[in-house]
Amino acid sequence: MSAHDGEVESFAGKWWQFLPLRNALLAALVAGGCFAAESFVGLSQSIANPIYIAAIVLGGFHWIREGLEDLIRKRKVGIEVLMISATAGAALLGMWDEAAALVVLYGAAEGLEEFTYARTRASIRSLLDLAPKEARILGEGDVEQTIPADQLKVGSRFVVRPGEGIVTDGVVLQGRSSVNEAAITGESLPVDKSPGSKVFAGSINTEGALTIEASTAFADNTLSKIIHLVEQAQSEKGQAQQWIDRFGRRYSPLVLISAVLLIVVPWAMGLDIDAWARRAIVLLVAAAPCALIMSMPMAMASGIGAAGKRGILIKGGAHLEHLATITLVAFDKTGTLTLGKPAVTDIAPVGINADELLAKAASVEHFSQHPLAQAIVAAADEKKLTRPEAKDFQSITGGGARAVVDGQTWLIGSPALMREMNIELGDLDARIAQYQAEGKTAVVAINDNKAAGVIAMQDQLRPEAHRVIEQLHRLGIRTVMLTGDNRVTGESVARRLGIDDVRAELKPDAKVAAIKELELSEKVLMVGDGVNDAPALASATCGVAMGAVGTDAAIEAADIALMADDLKQLPIAIAFGRKARRVSTQNIVLSIGVLLVMIPLALLGVIGIAMTVAVHEAAELLAVANGLRAAKARLPRQPPGI
């Protein structure tokens, strides 16, 4: 049911400090004591009834107020109105002890439900505690001054010492350290930071001191955005929950009308009105769909909240539902399955050794900003090769560069450029064809118009990509890669990762068309690395943006955002969706089963108010407790030998 606004939203204490629960407990003591006095001491009704009335007021104040507000202001007949009617009916029949029992048990169940929901929300809001409440800023002359965190401005410089939390998002100006960003990205391993690195609020500095320039105010930092998005997502309802809500709005008035008819018709027929009035009161309680109404919200809130704490932002119950239905995952290639950075994989020298060829090529490419050139330089630096000085560097239009190294003219460029320049490559042509068939990019080195060798490069696969594909397959999900790259490269990557299908040479509009075609027979989840894939992300059943931390546009573009640049979170997100659906289905079956059993028993007069309330509230609390299990999603175990 609904929560008591700010009181519930902000509560994070112990259960006995929660006012609705505390009042229900006190009401139970009052009513229980009165019932014991009636049974064993013979307390008179004239004394007992006022005590029961006091218990009813104390235990029902919160939910009775809420029900009356819905009825008067919104013209809404909700579950609270059914319970109010049942309580009033029992009182009119002189069953004050039964009326008090109804109020106490219902109030206790409501209080426990709202307390559980409040604690779920509070667990997300507690992330804010990771960000310090004060900032140590640097003023004029680099003099340190401590100010409240909410007074920190964009552009302020602040110092974070080892072991301290980072107040807000920013860029490192001075210092080197490792920072634990688990609260933001879900990644447990610390990330190295140096001047120019981005840092985020709530991260913990583990080693050296850092001087940081704030890029956001405290209220607008990444941690605050995550909390806001998760809270907003928990309040957004999926299609199944919307159907249940619509059902409840129509069903509750029908129950109330049925209870009235159960009194009026026997009265008109001259039957025993007291007996039928009791059945009507029992029906109001037995038919109240509390467990059904709560069958999904707790599971959805738990799943979204738990995923959010792992750096998986699911932007609403509908998207969590969609995750449970996914049968096909479509991946962008560059930046999603690969790192988006080419690296040297093969060196085929002619007349010199491989290290000398790499060193000379790196000397030439040192002046170029092209990704392939940077890969050659990085490979030489990784092997700690000495790069000779290059002179007279010249960039050549068409994919190459020329420079003088050790008195010799070296030309580094694509095979196509060499053919245009009529440079004979001899036996290297076969080696180049082999590399290209493997999906690699070949760069030729020419020394004084003679072929000196070939260097092959390839975009590197994400280390976790192969395992993620295996996990998806164990979940029964097929995979497809949608790439703008050439078919040879695309098929090579797909083959190495075990991807089921590949569609290559796709422009953005062609990716959208491919998604729409796949959607004709599948529920498709599209994974991309942000804004460039936005059209395809929007077209799929569910869109997932990779590495969205610090990127507002990526968060906005997708239904789900993986805050860390970590593909391993994808199967976990799907597991959360499936767990939430299983738990919700169990709750729905339970709640409908209880209604199907209790309503006939109420109409036949087999059960009384106290028993009905006990069973009714037990079912509701069981639905709430089961809903919390959605926070504990697990991937299927890996079979032996994989």
Residue 424's H or E segment, with its range, is none
Q: In this structure, are residues 447 and 405 in contact, taking their beta carbons and an 8 Å threshold?
A: no
Q: How many CB atoms lie within 10 A of CB 368?
A: 18
**Tokens 């809500």, residue located:** 245
Could you tell me which of 609, 516, 525, 602 has the C-alpha nearest to residue 560?
525
Could you tell me which of 360, 347, 359 has the C-alpha nearest to residue 448?
360
Q: In this structure, are residues 31 and 101 in contact, taking their beta carbons and an 8 Å threshold?
A: yes
DSSP code of 565?
S
Q: In this structure, are residues 305 and 124 in contact, taking their beta carbons and an 8 Å threshold?
A: yes
Question: 486 CB contacts (<8 Å, ≥6 apart)?
Answer: 504, 505
3-state helix, strand, coil in the chain (%, to 5): 55, 20, 25
Could you tell me which of 518, 551, 520 has the C-alpha nearest to residue 534?
551
Three-class SS state of 105: helix
**Tokens 């573009």, residue located:** 557
Residue 89: CA atoms inside 13 Å, Cβ hemisphere, count? 26
**Tokens 């050296």, residue located:** 208
- For 590, the token pair is 């339970």
Three-class SS state of 168: coil
Q: How far apart are CA 2 and CA 124, in angstroms?
A: 19
Q: What b/e readout covers 301-326, taking b as 16+ CB neighbours within 10 angstroms?
A: bbbbbbbbbbbbbbbbbbbbbbbbeb
β pairing state of 204-205 and 177-180: antiparallel
Q: How far apart are CA 171 and CA 97, in angstroms?
A: 66
Residue 199's H or E segment, with its range, is strand 198-199
Q: How far apart are CA 498 and CA 192, in angstroms?
A: 32
Q: How many CB atoms lie within 10 A of CB 39?
A: 10
DSSP code of 564?
S
Active site residue 501: no
Q: In this structure, are residues 624 and 462 in contact, taking their beta carbons and an 8 Å threshold?
A: no
Q: What are the Cα distances from residue 344, in Å, to 238, 435, 486?
A: 48, 12, 19
Please name the amino acid found at residue 316: G
DSSP code of 351?
S
Please name the amino acid found at residue 208: G
Residue 349: CA atoms inside 13 Å, Cβ hemisphere, count? 11
Q: In this structure, are residues 168 and 217 in contact, taking their beta carbons and an 8 Å threshold?
A: yes
Q: In this structure, are residues 45 and 53 in contact, taking their beta carbons and an 8 Å threshold?
A: no
Residue 535's H or E segment, with its range, is helix 534-539
- For 303, the token pair is 């799943």
Which one is catalytic: 150, 192, 220, 332? 332
Bridge-partner residues for 524, per DSSP? 328
Q: How far apart are CA 301 and CA 304, in angstroms?
A: 5
Q: In this structure, are residues 363 and 392 in contact, taking their beta carbons and an 8 Å threshold?
A: no
Catalytic residues: 332
